Structures are given as C-alpha cells and as structure tokens.
Structure 1
Amino acid sequence: MYKAVLSAASLGILAASPVLAGDAIRPIEVFTRPQASQPQEFQSVQLIAQEWRKLGLNVNVRVLPWEQMSDVVWYQRKNWDATAWQMVGRPERSDPDEIIYNLFHSSTAEKGYNFIGYINPEYDAVAQAQRNEIDQAKRKELAYKAQEILAQDQPNMMLVHPKQTFAFDKKVWDPASVVNQSGIGIRNTWTFMSLKPLGEKKDIVLNSGDNVIAINPLYISGGVDSWVFELVYDRLVRVGPDGLPKAWAAESYEWKGDKTIVVKLRQGMKWHDGRPVTPEDVKFSFEAAVSGEAPMYAPFASNIEKIDIGDGSTLTFTLKQPSAAFVTSTLGKINLIPKHVWEPTINDLKTKEQNAESHQEKNPIGSGPFKFERWLTNEEIVLTANKEHFNAPKADRWILRIVPNVEAAVGMLRSGEINFLADFAGDPQVLLKAAEQDGDLEVVSSVEMGFRYVAFNNRRPPFNDPAFRRALSAAVDRQLIVKAAFRGFAEPSNSIVSPALGFWHNEAVVKNFKAGNKIAAKLLEDAGYTLEGGRLHYPGDQKETLAK
C-alpha cells in the first residue's frame, strides 16, 4: 500500500511521489489520575493528547485511581501504552545514581524500576561507569552523558520539575522548627521530627490526595507510602537538610580504601516491639534486599560483596566495585528491618510465586522516630511518637488523612481539621490568597528534585521506536504545560536531574530541546511515518500487531 508522506509544515498530503507505508497506528491510550485529586497531571495529559491528535493519532485519555494505575503499570508491564507518572523527591535522590541507574538500566527492566522496558547497551555502560567512578569531576561528565543519551532516545517524555507548594498552621507549629530540605521542601522527615507545638495541639495532621498502597520496607510502592515508612524505619544514614549524608542509625562510618567501609552501629536502639537492634539485624536488612524477594531494592545492595560483623557494634561492608554513591544511595536507602520478624517471612515467600512486595504486616515494626498505631484503608494512618528514639519527635502523633479532593484539603486546612498541607496539586495562588485572608497560614514553595513525566512503554510499538518517541515529545511545548497546568509553579524539563541538583544537572539538554508541531511532523516524516485520511501510519510495511 502506498500513502503520502507527512508535511512538515501542516501535516497535509504532499503531492510528491508516494512512499510505501504500513498499517494505521491503533488508538493510543494514556493514563492519568483523576482531576479532583491531581488537577495538574490531568490537565497536562489533556494538553498532550490534544497535540498528539494533531499528528494524526487517535488518543484516548483513561482516568484511573492511583491504586489501579500503579497495579496495571507495575504488574502488567506489556498491557499499556503511556501513562502520566512522577518521581518524587526523596532525600537519597540528592545523589543522581538512583535515577540514572535504577530507572533506566536494563537489569531493572523485568521486575525493577525500569518499568518502561528501556534497553540501550550504550546507556547501561555509562550508568554503570558513573556509579563506579570515584573522581567527582569525571563522574559529573558521565552523569551529563547519561542525560544526553536519554534526551536523544526519549524513553520517557519529561515534562516539569514542580515547585512544590506546602502550607502549615503557624499558630499550631513554631515556624522556626520547620525544616526546608534541599530539593524536597518542608514535607520531610526532619520537619516531622522537629515540629515544635506552640500550644495544646500536639498532633501533626496532614493530607494526601492518593491512597497508601503499602507500608512495606522492601517495596517502594509510592511517594505517599514513603512518607510513612521513612518515619517507621531507620536507615544507617539519612540525607540531611543540606543534601549531604549524615550518620543516623550508624554512629559513624569510615572508608578503608575504595571498596571497604566500616560502620559502627548506634548503641541502645530498639525495635518497636522492645527487642534490641543488633548488627545481625543490619546485615540481614541488606541481605534481604538481594534475596530475590525485593526486586526494587536489589540494585541498591547488589554491589555488596560481603558484610562482616566485627567486635561489638561494627560491620564491615566490602564492595564488588568502587561506588561514589554508596553512602547516600545504599546506606541511606536500605530500611533496617528486624530479622526475627522478616526472616521467617522471606523464607516462606521463597517457596511461593509472590515476593516480599506483596506482603503487608498487620503491625509494621521498625525502629524509627514514629511507631505504627493504625491504618484505616482509604481514611487515615496514625503513627505515635517513639519517645525512646535517639531523635524523638516533639509532636505526639502523626496523622495522615486521605483527602482525594484538592479544594476539600484547602478547606480542611483553613478550618483546622488538618494543620499541615502536605499534598497540594492545585493553583498555588489559591493558597497564597487563603494565607493572606486567614493570617494563620504560612505557605512555602521550592523547586523539587522530583519530576513529572509521561512514561512510554518501550516494549510496545510504536513506542519501541526512538524516532516516534522523539516526535511525540517534541510535539508539546513544555512552557505550555508550565503555564496552563502548573500555573507557572514548575520548571520545564528535558532531564531526569532537577535544576535543584545544580552540580549534576545538564542544563544544555533542556536549553537545546526544541518543540512544536512542525518539528514533530518533520521527525515523523524523516522516520517514514505517513498520513492517510488524517490517520498516522507506520513506516514501510510494518503491521499493527496490538489493535483490539
């Protein structure tokens, strides 16, 4: 069959010589969360679908609640086309290794965080090299190279780095006790530990638009879930407000060469069930990550050759390869878990098809600054301050309320039903106006190290074609997304590394990105895609194998 090629100027039919063309591309489905809970995401997807339709694609926007979206994208990896997604800012992501390696390395494609199935041997080599390179200047060059490869391949369509906006009741909490963490904002573990009550109200009551999927130290199940398990579980190291690693459950750590690090465990720590935290627990925590039962955590511990327990409270980690990011990306990532609780569970799971990601404790037990009290599904999670912790919170309880509607969350803040607005995806001007009117609210905004994007399923045609992905990405002006969907409270993106991480951020891949309908049309034309009757067709004699 012969079709006319795309016009770079208007996508009209050219009168030039006909070219061989394949089948019409099936209708493309794009997932988004509901408008009420995630208006910025919903509006972004609507704008993107509008631009893609101009290229001759039939685009269906499918609205899914977070739990369903996560299940389809994560566990049915061959059954979706594209989805709105986000990588939240987490302290350990202040080192770019987690994003550069874990999100895109081919070793994590089957069950790990590379859920889009991106495979590129050249990228794999660069991602591995940057995590082994000790020289910071050379490592920076490799991080820049990784960003350049991704900008060329466009395995995902990067959209924005949001300016996260939070608010709290300054008559309940001392503003001086609120910690603004670099690349994270004020919703962070340091804030929740340090918030100082000014009166009788001593419970931190905050909101989330998404439900919690799991409270599981071996499963990275979502951004909101991480708020919980970062409080319930300790780590050897925590990333401080300045973005640098600080000894935490480790009293100290010291490198002995480029592949050996000695850790001294803090004395007197206890699990929430009263039993002592031991070096054996710590060793088990890292071994559990590579047991085959925790695929999302495996990349962070896979470089450990062995862990030796020494006299008293010391552990010696021997690495397979040097790792510049080990302290932040491994010691600051792996949750410490009680061996007496998890060892029998993992041994049992090894005999079953499921892994540890499917396991939910009735009463999660950690050693962190807050203890689990209760979880009412779709309603709230309550944690109680662990007053015996070495950095005991000043608040009494941490109460997370599930509030799917953005306007309702603002109303609850103004009425006092919540006193910390932790999740706000609406127009920041609404918050600023409320603060001006009420007088008791303080609003804080900062650029996040996380990012919003559209994930392309690289396993499925036509998304397995880099040229097609480049065209779809180029079809959308990121400034349109910034202005229309985020009301100006975001930075346009074409890089997985946020400008909040200035040392690692390759600004050139953002500045050099060109977008527009004409550019996208030319990319499709050059790759052999054609139009007939307003429908985009595959190049050559390619068949549509996934049409329903």
Structure 2
Amino acid sequence: MADERQSERPAVTEPIGRRRALGLLGSGALGLLGGCFGAKDLFERSDPGEQLSVAIKSPPADADTRALRIARFLATNLTAVGINATVVPTRRETLMRDVLVNQQFDVYVAPFPECDDPDFLRPLFHSRYTDTAGWYNPFGFEDGDVDSLLELQRRQDGGQRRRTLGTIQEKLARAQPLSVLAFVDELRALSSTVGVGYGADGIHSKLGYLTLSSATLDTVPDPTAGQTNGTAETRTAAPSETRSPADGIRMTLTDNRALKNLNPLSAAARDDGVVTSLLYDSLGQRIDGRVRPWLADSWTWSDESPVEVSLDLSIREGATWHDGTDVDATDVAFTYRFLSDTSMGAFDSPVPAPRFSGRASLLDAVETLDSNTVRLTFDSVSRPVARQALTVPILPAHVWESKTGKALVGSIDTEETLTEAVVWANRNPVGSGPLRFRRLQPQERLVLEPFADHFLTDVTAPHLKPFADGVDYDALTFRRAPSSEAAISLVQNGDAEGTGLGVAPSSIPTIGRDSSLDLSVTPTRTFYHVGYNTRRPPFDDPAFRRLVARLLDKAYFAEEVFEGYGKPAASPLARHDSLASQLAWDGRDPVAPFFGEDGRLDTDRAREAFRNAGYRYTAEGELVVS
C-alpha cells in the first residue's frame, strides 16, 4: 500500500538521519490500528554533529485545517532558527495510532478532547501511564513531584484541591510536555426547523441529541414562524417540508471515524465519544455540572468523611441490553475490571482500555452484593473525583468477555501489546443506551433508533425530567460530509437538520445569509496543543521544549487560525474554575511568550535564546545535534 502521508518542507534542505523501527507493524486492522505501516512511516533521526531534524505530525487539511496551519507555522519558525523541520500530514486515525499507541512521533499538533473534571491531568501526565495506549501520557513525561501532586489532588476537594491543581499547572507550564494553544468555540449550522431542548452541553452531546426535535416531523403547516423551544428558535414546516417521523433527525459528520468504528474503547477512532455514548449508558451522567444517577437508580456513600471509602449503588429495575438480556451487577463488575485490564489477567501485564481506564483506576475493588447491587471501593479518593468513575460506559459481559485475547493486526502478532477489545470495530453494537443500532453503511451513514425499553420512557426523578418520555424522533442518522461547506449544503438543501461536528468560521456568512439556517456557538473545553515526545532528544530537555513553545504565537492563532473563535491559553485548565491565577491569559503567554509579535518571528532574538541555552550553530546557521 502506498504511503498515506506526504511530508511538507518549509526549507529546501533534505532531512538527515536514520529511521527507527516501529514496535507495532501491520495493515488492515479495524478501529484502533487502522491504516498501513511501512518504511516510509518511520521518523527521521539526527546524528551527532548534523543539523537537527524534526518531524511535525498533524491531520491533513481536509481533516483539520487549523491543526495543519499551526504545524506549518511551527515548521517555518523552527526552520528560521536553524532546525530542519518537516510537516507530515497524517490521516486522523493513523495520527492517533502513532501518538497514542505506538508513541512514534517527534512533535504533533491536535485537539485534546473535552474533559469535565481536572483529574484528567492524572492519566495525561502521571509517569505510571507512559506505556499505556490512549490519552495516557503519550509524551512520556516523568516528574516525581508532579506524580505526587496528581495523587494528592484526587484525595482533596474544594479550595485545598484547587491550590494543589494550581501548583500542578505551574510545574507543567515550566516543564512544557505539551504547549496548550487555544480553547475552541464550536460553530454549527442548524436548520431553523430544529428545536434544541437541553442546551447546557451543546447540541453535539448525549443530552443534546436526546432532546433535539424537528418541526418538520408530522406537523400541521402554519404560516407563522418564530416559536421558541429551549435555546434555539424553530419554525413550523411549510407543506413541502413536512416529513415522516420515520425520517427522524439527520446530522452530518465531517469525521467519518464514527461511521466505521463503534468501539467505545478506541481512542484512535474517536475524539469525543458522543455517538457511542448514545448506545452505552453509564451509572451516572453529568447533568447541569453534577454527576447524577442514570443507569444506577440510586447510590449511597459509606460515610460523610471528605475521602469516601465505598459506594453502594443499585441498577434500575428492568434495565436491559439492546438484545433483550438483563443488565445486572455482574455487567458492572465486569466493566470496571475489563477497563483496567482488557486481557482480564490473561497476559503477563495488564492491558488497560485506551479510553476510560484512567477513571476506572480510581477504584480499589468492585463487589457484587446481589444481582442488582454493586459496591465500589475507592482508594483514598475524594467524593468529587470518585464520581468520575461513575461516568464510564457499562459494557455487556456476554458480548465483551470473548474479546480478551491477543489482537492479530494484519496477520502480524502484536506481541501482547493489544487485545481484541482494543482493535475490534464493533459494527453491530449492543448497549443499554437510549438509542440502539439500526444500520451502518461504513464510512457513509449510521442510523440509530430509540430503544423502546429504555428507562427514560418512564422516569419521575426531577433531574431526569428534561429527558423523560424518550426522544421525539424515530431515527437519528449521522451521515458523512467531506467538508464544512458540504455539510452546510446538506442542511441548506434539506438533506440534514444540522452539522454534528463544528464548521469553519469562514462558513458564518453563508449561514447568516440563509434564513433557513441558524448558527449555534458552543464554548468548549477542547483545546488545541502541540505535544512533544520527551523520550527523544532534544525534547527530553524541558529548556528546549520551552524555547520551542516560544516559537508559537497563541494570540495570532486565536485571531487568524481560529478566526476569533478560539481563546489563547497557557494551561489545560484554562476553562475550568481550577485555573491557576498565574497562568490566566492577559494578552500574552505568562510562561512562554512568543519571540515576536503579530505572527512574525524575531529570528535573531530566538536564535540568541537557543545559543544561550547551550545549543550550537554551524557557520551556515544550522542548529546541530551535540
């Protein structure tokens, strides 16, 4: 198979170096390891005395223009300071595999998926996770002080925890295992016939999709418009627009990974996991900022101490899987053990799930008290942090227990690195969520339908009132759109009710000129970042990483790359209430200010900083490897 990536070089000099073998080779794997490997996929390395060569990986333009523009900006500035920098546009799934599974990268540019509780910093930066697949310290970052603080914050709450998190952020800012660039606001185009119910999480969210409605579904035509429902304005359909409820709600996706892989554990196949969250319920669901009972009917903490010991919870009576099998305590216990080790003890070392194992690691033990009751025991974890463990998808044991074997990728043994559970595409998923699988046309279309036996069809709890009685449509269809422009055209032409994923800010005039479209703007906790592989010199040197960070103009990115719909930041908690005050943005980066202004690099100043840090240049101005 031909190499899927083509390098971009801002300078004419060719990269110099040797190529290092990947640990996981193969082709044709489903899900996590999709794509092809070969000699051309390996990274350039630099020999002592030769010019330093760096490869910057990012999604291609048709997948993420913003990430690619940032990668090119960085490559240009690295070249200006004497480093031979190459941009390597890489298919999204392959990029995530290279970063999150094989750790085969020098530098990459990508968005980090939205997280609610700051405890996501623990698996992201703790040294114990350096060899774990997924968003578990892909940087290879190791710092004993940071490890201790990450462990400490999970035992704390309130102001005490915020202070510890502040110290963690300051240490990370100095160490720069990654450079946070900007938090994004997601823009979406919606048909003005769409009614938005629960808008707190945005439209593209589990609760958002459960409360969408369309005035064109089986309505009586009315010439008046402007009826308000929730946070969005809807209008009544004209006669020609009236559709059958069976048509349902149709949303576009510009990322087709969710249209070929429905494995909720795959980090490479999805960023946000919204689609699979509709299929798989968790014990608790974050509603209005709090984790509330969802698949669990209720729970009781063992005592009122600041650090809880255990939690007893009961599963909703009558809960069933989509195949009719009862959901019971055995499934819950299986899920937590499985997330911690998808081999279930069959391998010499555990194989944690690439997603959710960080939350599962908060538990010390899981015990089934009866067929409907489970006791979760936590290892010195405060109640706010412990609740995060309740938000993992509960899996049917009778489906997943057969996926514990060693994965074979493209007929090449992966040497116990991965299990079948990790690479399985799961194209006929069985969950317990409010929607169930109906049909999949791989890479083109996914159709979900309401699960008639779901508990939301008959609930009385006040926190579930916005979602009671189930959804207002007979189907939810996600269809592929190759670009923002194509996605908007589908909505304009009546072939979709909205864009599921965000569209480019350049599309705003198109949306504004069309009275049949509404613009939705959702601030998110998704942040773009540059990640460094600290296993590789010179990125093992925090001083070098700080210098590279100063080649990035975050304010320029916010205005020019994100077109005003991005907020520059210096901390991964910039949109949390635990942001360290010293890292608040005040017109410039408080730790790694850009060597220049308005996107223009002060090359002389930047080169002098590299020299002062001990890096050597040749007479030709090339920065060389010592």
AA aligned to 1:179 is G
- Inter-CA distance 162–348: structure 2 relative to 1 (3 Å threshold): closer
**Cα deviation digits, residues 312-366 of structure 1 (max 9, x gap):** 622111122223444442111x211111111233267799833121123341110
Q: Does 1:211 align with 2:256?
A: yes
Q: In 2, distance between residues paired with 1:272 and 1:157? A: 43
Equivalent residue number for residue 140 of structure 1: 162
From 112, 135, 151, give the equivalent of 1:87.
112
* 1:481 partner SS: helix
- Inter-CA distance 347–33: structure 2 relative to 1 (3 Å threshold): closer
Give structure 1 stretches of 5+ with no counterpart: 1-20, 543-548
**Cα deviation digits, residues 380-423 of structure 1 (max 9, x gap):** 22212212212232222222222232221222222122211122
AA aligned to 2:208 is T
Equivalent residue number for residue 479 of structure 1: 555
Q: In 1, distance between residues paired with 2:269 and 2:118? A: 19
Q: Does 1:305 align with 2:357?
A: no
Q: Does 1:410 align with 2:488?
A: yes
Equivalent residue number for residue 119 of structure 1: 142
Give structure 2 stretches of 5+ with no counterpart: 1-46, 218-242, 342-349, 457-469, 596-600
Q: Does 1:198 align with 2:235?
A: no
AA aligned to 1:216 is N
Q: In 2, distance between residues paired with 1:199 and 1:209? A: 24
Q: In 2, distance between residues paired with 1:40 and 1:368? A: 34
Q: What's the offset of the Cα at 1:222?
A: 4.5
Equivalent residue number for residue 297 of structure 2: 251
Q: What's the offset of the Cα at 1:231?
A: 0.7
**Partners of 1:163 and 1:447 within 8 A in 2:** yes
**Partners of 2:113 and 2:271 within 8 A in 1:** no
- Inter-CA distance 25–481: structure 2 relative to 1 (3 Å threshold): same
Q: In 1, distance between residues paired with 2:515 and 2:162? A: 45
Moved more, 190-199 or 33-42: 33-42
Moved more, 228-237 or 513-522: 513-522
Moved more, 487-496 or 414-423: 414-423
Equivalent residue number for residue 453 of structure 2: 388
* 1:23 partner SS: coil
**Cα deviation digits, residues 244-274 of structure 1 (max 9, x gap):** 1111001112211321111121111110001
Q: In 2, distance between residues paired with 1:395 and 1:493? A: 40
* 1:142 partner SS: helix
AA aligned to 2:511 is A
Q: In 2, distance between residues paired with 1:273 and 1:312? A: 19
- Inter-CA distance 418–233: structure 2 relative to 1 (3 Å threshold): same
Q: Does 1:508 align with 2:582?
A: yes
* 1:524 partner SS: helix
Moved more, 52-61 or 24-33: 24-33
**Partners of 2:55 and 2:105 within 8 A in 1:** yes
1:163-178 superposed matches below 5 A: 163-171=185-193, 173-175=194-196, 177-178=197-198
Q: What's the offset of the Cα at 1:37?
A: 2.9
Q: Does 1:37 align with 2:66?
A: no
**Partners of 1:40 and 1:425 within 8 A in 2:** no
AA aligned to 1:136 is G
Q: Does 1:344 align with 2:366?
A: no
Equivalent residue number for residue 286 of structure 2: 239
* TM-score, scaled to structure 2: 0.76
Q: What's the offset of the Cα at 1:225?
A: 6.5
Equivalent residue number for residue 375 of structure 2: 316
* 2:154 partner SS: helix
Q: What's the offset of the Cα at 1:522?
A: 4.7
**Cα deviation digits, residues 220-240 of structure 1 (max 9, x gap):** 335456122111100001111
- Inter-CA distance 59–386: structure 2 relative to 1 (3 Å threshold): same
From 205, 227, 231, give the equivalent of 1:188.
205
**Partners of 2:574 and 2:584 within 8 A in 1:** no
**Partners of 1:467 and 1:524 within 8 A in 2:** no
AA aligned to 2:97 is D
AA aligned to 1:120 is D
* 2:278 partner SS: helix
Q: In 1, distance between residues paired with 2:123 and 2:353? A: 11
Q: Does 1:49 align with 2:75?
A: yes
Q: What's the offset of the Cα at 1:446?
A: 2.8
Q: In 2, distance between residues paired with 1:28 and 1:312? A: 56
Q: What's the offset of the Cα at 1:43?
A: 1.7
**Partners of 1:157 and 1:453 within 8 A in 2:** yes
From 494, 505, 517, give the equivalent of 1:441.
517
Q: What's the offset of the Cα at 1:102?
A: 1.3
Q: In 2, distance between residues paired with 1:62 and 1:312? A: 52
- Inter-CA distance 480–56: structure 2 relative to 1 (3 Å threshold): same
Aligned residues: 502
Q: In 1, distance between residues paired with 2:609 and 2:175? A: 13
Equivalent residue number for residue 401 of structure 1: 479
Equivalent residue number for residue 612 of structure 2: 526
Q: What's the offset of the Cα at 1:178?
A: 4.9
AA aligned to 1:383 is L
Q: What's the offset of the Cα at 1:290?
A: 1.6
**Partners of 1:40 and 1:426 within 8 A in 2:** no
Q: What's the offset of the Cα at 1:170?
A: 2.1
Q: In 1, distance between residues paired with 2:276 and 2:73? A: 35
**Partners of 1:531 and 1:537 within 8 A in 2:** yes
From 536, 539, 542, give the equivalent of 2:623.
536
* 2:188 partner SS: strand
Q: In 2, distance between residues paired with 1:193 and 1:139? A: 34
Q: Does 1:294 align with 2:352?
A: yes
1:64-79 superposed matches below 5 A: 64-77=90-103, 79=104
Q: In 1, distance between residues paired with 2:500 and 2:271? A: 10
Q: What's the offset of the Cα at 1:27?
A: 2.1
- Inter-CA distance 305–430: structure 2 relative to 1 (3 Å threshold): closer
* TM-score, scaled to structure 1: 0.86
Identity, in percent, stands at 25
Q: In 2, distance between residues paired with 1:465 and 1:270? A: 53
Moved more, 349-358 or 56-65: 349-358
Q: What's the offset of the Cα at 1:71?
A: 2.3
Equivalent residue number for residue 231 of structure 2: none
**Cα deviation digits, residues 13-58 of structure 1 (max 9, x gap):** xxxxxxxx96234321111212133222222222222222221111
**Partners of 2:329 and 2:370 within 8 A in 1:** no
- Inter-CA distance 76–311: structure 2 relative to 1 (3 Å threshold): closer
Q: In 2, distance between residues paired with 1:312 and 1:65? A: 45
Q: In 2, distance between residues paired with 1:384 and 1:141? A: 46
Q: In 1, distance between residues paired with 2:608 and 2:124? A: 30
**Partners of 2:264 and 2:273 within 8 A in 1:** no
Q: Does 1:493 align with 2:569?
A: yes
